[in-house]
Amino acid sequence: MKYRFLLVAFIIAGLFYSACSTEPEIKEENVSRIIQTLSSDKMKGRHAFTPEINDAANFIAGEFQKIGLAPLNDENDFFQDFTIYSLTPSETKVTVNGQELNDQEFFGIIHEEEFELKESNSSIRYISANDSFRDAFRQFISNDDHNIIAVDKAHEKWFHRYRGYFNRANRSFELGDEPNDVFVLISAPIRSYDVSFKNKLESTELFNVAGMIEGQRKDEIVLFSAHYDHIGVITPMDEDSIANGANDNASGVSGVIELARHFSQQPTPERTIYFVNFTAEESGGFGSKYFSRYIDPENIVAMINIEMIGKPAIEGPDSGWITGFELSDLGEILQNSTHDSSYVFYPDPYPSQNLFYRSDNAPFARLGIPAHTISTTPIDMDQDYHGVTDEFKTLDISHATHTIQAIAKGTQVIISGEKTPTRINPDSLR
């Protein structure tokens, strides 16, 4: 009798404890299952322009369905489709000062299927021996004119490196939405020119996978994200050619899905929460760029992008770092609201790697959104990064799970409306 009473008392105490517990219930077995599925050889490394990316997207949408997320406002399902046009040079002819150039001596950045650059529709520019090639390049491609740009032979190395890059497919959201530029390697003034380009056009449908939980304040949105694509099949090593992308970034996707599961089990949040898996991060960042055009930046209160949380950071397990830490107070909010746990958030230890600018948070930060990436990866010494060995077995799932729990706990005060991170000043960005 006495024992039975004690047992009942324990059960009640246990129930009471779990009801009051603020530690998020995010389970290792789910994290493990998601990463294992997305990084399996069947998915062939989830390259954005291959059919296998569909399997990854369907799997994520299936999880969102089970969790009970709603599609974003003007979507019918969890797939946010968009088209990417890809142009590859097929027939080109460039004549300068009466002489036809060989294809080593020019390259074009052309946004149309067919284009002719003539003296009547374009301007002549120069990158002289004393200019910085990269600065001048950036300046000329971002102005509103069609240009022919003479590059002094002093910059030959840079010229060929860029030529190699731009002779591959040139991908964009729209055709003809940007001015066309042609670079020629020539150390003499341009007196006359005649340029014609024909490109082969292909279009590909890509999709982000996105769902949401609508809050009391519909238009105040906290955005969790991760890219779900990877680099696909690469040069074989020990008969393996699949870059599985377990850490990069199946681990981040497991974070987004488990955060969705966690918050869907809580009462209706004060703020709306978006859960977005971006495509094509590894092929030009098109998924996040597209999404950044789709939202109203004013409505996004915070963006937490998750990249590579499957391996403990240099500071050890149960710690994670935040890129662009000093650009808003989002990092401090996360630190303050997890100070009573064993998990530590700290600033990105690799500022020279420019990770803040290299991930999907960047297009959102440029709109003033406090948009940061959380990662734990020891990127300076990780032998598996972008290799065929980035596999499930190299990961520490308990660490990944603790990281997701810490993100859930740390962002609770933002989702509840208690805290609002300061905005990023776009002018302070490089």
Interface residue with Zn ion among 80, 225, 249, 373 (CB under 5 A) is: 249
Q: Which is nearer to Zn ion, 248 or 384 (CB)?
A: 248
Asked if 86 and 169 touch (Cβ cutoff 8 Å), the reply is yes
Q: Which is nearer to Zn ion, 279 or 335 (CB)?
A: 279
Relative orientation angle of helices 28-38 and 252-264, to the nearest 10 degrees? 140
Q: Which stretch binds Zn ion (CB under 5 A): 108-116, 246-254, 364-372, 386-394?
A: 246-254
**Nearest-CA neighbor of 365 among 413, 277, 430?**
430
The pair of structure tokens assigned to 266 is 């809580």
Beta strand pairing call for 371-375 and 300-306: parallel
Number of Cβ within 10 Å of residue 372's Cβ equals 28
Q: Which of helix, strand or coil describes residue 264? A: helix
Number of helices and strands (H, E) in the chain?
Answer: 11, 17
How many residues touch Zn ion (CB under 5 A)? 3
Residue type, 269: P
Q: Which is nearer to Zn ion, 283 or 335 (CB)?
A: 283
Q: Which stretch binds Zn ion (CB under 5 A): 145-153, 164-172, 192-200, 241-249?
A: 241-249
Q: Which is nearer to Zn ion, 302 or 309 (CB)?
A: 309
Classify residue 167 by its DSSP letter: T
The CB-of-121 to Zn ion minimum distance in angstroms stands at: 40
Distance CA 69, CA 275 (A): 9
Residue 248 found at the interface with Zn ion (CB under 5 A): yes
The CB-of-385 to Zn ion minimum distance in angstroms stands at: 9
Classify residue 134 by its DSSP letter: H
The CB-of-227 to Zn ion minimum distance in angstroms stands at: 6
Q: Which is nearer to Zn ion, 220 or 391 (CB)?
A: 391
| H/E stretch holding 251 | none
Residue 373 found at the interface with Zn ion (CB under 5 A): no
Q: Which is nearer to Zn ion, 288 or 401 (CB)?
A: 288
Q: Which is nearer to Zn ion, 220 or 248 (CB)?
A: 248
Beta strand pairing call for 106-109 and 193-213: unpaired
Angstrom CA distances, 406 to 309, 346, 403, 410, 426, stand at 12, 12, 5, 6, 28
- Give the per-residue contact string, 196-235, with Zn ion (x = CB under 5 A; - = no): ----------------------------------------
Q: Which stretch binds Zn ion (CB under 5 A): 15-23, 199-207, 249-257, 291-299?
A: 249-257
- Give the per-residue contact string, 274-313, with Zn ion (x = CB under 5 A; - = no): ---------------------------------x------
Q: Which residues bind Zn ion (CB under 5 A)?
A: 248-249, 307
